[in-house]
Amino acid sequence: MGVGHSSVSLSLDPISIAAFTAKPKPKTSCFFNTHCKKSVFPTKKNSLFVGFSLKFESLKCGKVAGEMDTEKGIDVANKSILDFHGIDERLIRKMEFDALVWSSLHGLVVGDRNFQRSGQVPGVGMVHAPIALLPMSFPKSHWKQACELAPIFNELIDRVSLDGKFLQDSLSRTKKVDAFTSRLLDIHSKMLEMNKKEEIRLALHRADYMLDEKTKLLLQIELNTISSSFPGLGCLVTELHRTLLNEYGEDLGLDSKRIPSNTAVGQFSEALAKAWTEYNNPRAVALVVVQTEERNMYDQHWLCTMLKERHNVRTVRKTLAEIDREGQLLPDGTLLVDGQAIAVIYFRAGYAPTDYPSESEWRARLLMEQSSAIKCPSISYHLAGSKKIQQELAKPNMLERFLENKEDIVKLRKCFAGLWSLDDLDIIRKAIDKPELFVMKPQREGGGNNIYGNDVKETLLQLQKEGSEEDAAYILMQRIFPTVSPTILMRDGICHKEHAISELGIYSAYLSLGNQSRVLDSTNNLKCFSSRYTKKIYRFHFLSLLLAIWNNRSSHS
């Protein structure tokens, strides 16, 4: 492999929280523009456009099928947190202007969907990223809980990734009905047959949580093991909020010091750089696998810029099709792309079926997997992050298969929402009876494909009637009801007062250097992390830009 294996193990988790957000997987989420009904970021063509976490609903309009009932939440919210809708209009105008200027000068931008080349060429058709004007309150205890979970989850995923049989068995039914998962499993099988080992494993994760209003439980929505987006722009949103509170905090009664640091992009770049160093080829570069159109490119550019400026690691950006055309595997396992040796492969594409329009893209994925380059993520990590595996791990005694530490297991289990496969007849009956308490999730990656409300009932009845194996393509999840808060969202230079529910995203990195040294001293890292913040009070957390990605269907229909 041309790689020296160090006996040092290293963990960078948890890096930082970075997203307290309304979308669990924004890279494939669909949300609407006020002016034209196109999604900002690339999305699956067959998306249902009804995300389980599209929780923005105006009080003025009626409920939309598939949207959650927010009235109750709003009442609670108005009592418990600051009412941003009560802020003086003049003050809002000032903050709005400052936020727009700040975003423009500091690269908090995305490609504008109304501009043709904005997803292909940097520097043209830019617009400020959709953002929440102000950070949202979040309990410090739950934030700390989420931070503490990060290294445990990372270790869990790493161990699961090493258990090829578990992955194949757990996904065997899904394989039959989901072509995409099936192709991923085929590559995974090939690697098992080849006895291919990934001795250096790099993970850049984002774990998404919601805080359930009634039970006050922090519940995990999902753990993104591939293409965790917004480490770059998320950090900028933190800075923007800090800047605004430094200026207007007194008028608002908000203290900028209560916004915790967000160093996700810096630490992601550090993790990538450490992996690059471990690969031990000074001439090799990092390969960023990108989509052909990417309006969220600046989030990626921030990470690559930091990788270059802080660590002097160069990156090349290639689509899967380009990698198929230009890629070459040397006998020693070295991956060359366009003649350039690749040390690390960072996927910002390849997580969705639409990323593989032809056999070319699958060939590229296989080629990379066969190589000695460090994959972020490997095919095993990719599969370990799937919803079906999440549901399998929630089964009784399953965590014990992978982890020894009893306390860790208790901590993980505490954040598991109810998760069931569709062969659980009891739960099917309950879901048909009370569909509003459940979310039906397709197995594959990417948000925006979930089924809610009465559609859950109808889909379940339809599946029962058909009696096919199609049910294996879905899992059922307990529906979480987080607090609804009055929020000021900005998009396309325009402020909108909305009610929003939010998700907390915790970024973390994990680098494993060989099997022997796999068990990491994550507790230590955790302490370091925590101590960085102990001097501060955390009533106010930040809302990442993701909060601003709202569904106008719910507010304007």
117 binds a copy of itself (CB under 8 A): yes
Residue 329 burial (CB < 10 Å; 0-12/13-18/19+)?
A: middle
d(CA 64, CA 61): 9
- The interface with a copy of itself within residues 356-415 (CB under 8 A) comprises none
Instruction: Name which of 304 and 431 has its Cβ closer to a copy of itself.
Output: 304
Strand pairing report for 485-491 and 131-132: antiparallel
3-state secondary structure at position 487: strand
115 binds a copy of itself (CB under 8 A): yes
Minimum Å distance from CB 534 to a copy of itself?
28
Minimum Å distance from CB 481 to a copy of itself?
34
Among 57, 67, 112, 270, binds a copy of itself (CB under 8 A): 112
> What phi and psi, each to the nearest 5 degrees, are found at residue 205?
-105, 155
Which region among 126-134, 163-171, 282-290, 379-387 touches a copy of itself (by CB under 8 A)? Answer: 126-134
Residues in CB range of 305: below 8 A, 6 or more apart: none
> What phi and psi, each to the nearest 5 degrees, are found at residue 259?
-85, 120
Minimum Å distance from CB 46 to a copy of itself?
31
Minimum Å distance from CB 122 to a copy of itself?
4
Among 93, 400, 493, 532, binds a copy of itself (CB under 8 A): 493
Residue 432's CB is within 10 A of a number of other CB atoms, namely 16
Q: Are 388 and 475 in contact (CB under 8 A)?
A: yes
Among 5, 63, 122, 411, binds a copy of itself (CB under 8 A): 122
Minimum Å distance from CB 121 to a copy of itself?
4
Among 109, 366, 394, 473, binds a copy of itself (CB under 8 A): 109
Minimum Å distance from CB 477 to a copy of itself?
37
125 binds a copy of itself (CB under 8 A): yes
Count of positions on this chain that bind a copy of itself (CB under 8 A): 31
Cα 536 to Cα 11, 150, 318, 532, 540: the distances in Å are 24, 21, 42, 9, 10
Q: Are 3 and 200 in contact (CB under 8 A)?
A: yes
104 binds a copy of itself (CB under 8 A): yes
298 binds a copy of itself (CB under 8 A): yes
Instruction: Name which of 201 and 241 has its Cβ closer to a copy of itself.
Output: 241
For residue 14, cis peptide bond before it (omega within 30 degrees of 0): yes
128 binds a copy of itself (CB under 8 A): yes
Minimum Å distance from CB 301 to a copy of itself?
5
Identify which of 363, 373, 364, 199 has the alpha carbon closest to the alpha carbon of residue 287. Answer: 373
Among 103, 229, 262, 378, binds a copy of itself (CB under 8 A): 103
Identify the helix (H) or strand (E) that includes residue 236: helix 231-252
106 binds a copy of itself (CB under 8 A): yes
123 binds a copy of itself (CB under 8 A): yes
* Cα distance between the two ends of the chain: 56
Minimum Å distance from CB 553 to a copy of itself?
22
Angle, helix 231-252 to helix 89-105, in steps of 10 degrees = 150
Q: Are 208 and 480 in contact (CB under 8 A)?
A: no
Which region among 123-131, 280-288, 367-375, 389-397 touches a copy of itself (by CB under 8 A)? Answer: 123-131
Cα 29 to Cα 212, 393, 445, 447: the distances in Å are 22, 25, 11, 5
d(CA 295, CA 323): 21
Among 50, 100, 237, 480, binds a copy of itself (CB under 8 A): 100
Instruction: Name which of 17 and 99 has its Cβ closer to a copy of itself.
Output: 99
Size (the chain), residues: 557
Which region among 106-114, 436-444, 457-465, 507-515 touches a copy of itself (by CB under 8 A)? Answer: 106-114
282 binds a copy of itself (CB under 8 A): no
Minimum Å distance from CB 302 to a copy of itself?
6
Minimum Å distance from CB 100 to a copy of itself?
4
Minimum Å distance from CB 118 to a copy of itself?
10
Please give the torsion angle defined by the CA atoms of residues 378, 382, 384 and 390, in that order, rounded to the nearest 10 degrees.
Answer: 160
Instruction: Name which of 97 and 197 has its Cβ closer to a copy of itself.
Output: 97
Among 102, 362, 416, 533, binds a copy of itself (CB under 8 A): 102
Cα 147 to Cα 13, 80, 235, 512: the distances in Å are 8, 24, 16, 19
d(CA 439, CA 452): 5
Residue 465's CB is within 10 A of a number of other CB atoms, namely 8
Minimum Å distance from CB 307 to a copy of itself?
12
Minimum Å distance from CB 526 to a copy of itself?
32
Residue 201's CB is within 10 A of a number of other CB atoms, namely 25
Instruction: Name which of 90 and 165 has its Cβ closer to a copy of itself.
Output: 90
Which region among 103-111, 144-152, 205-213, 219-227 touches a copy of itself (by CB under 8 A)? Answer: 103-111
Interface positions with a copy of itself (CB under 8 A) = 97, 99-107, 109, 112, 115, 117, 121-128, 247, 298, 301-302, 304-305, 308, 492-493
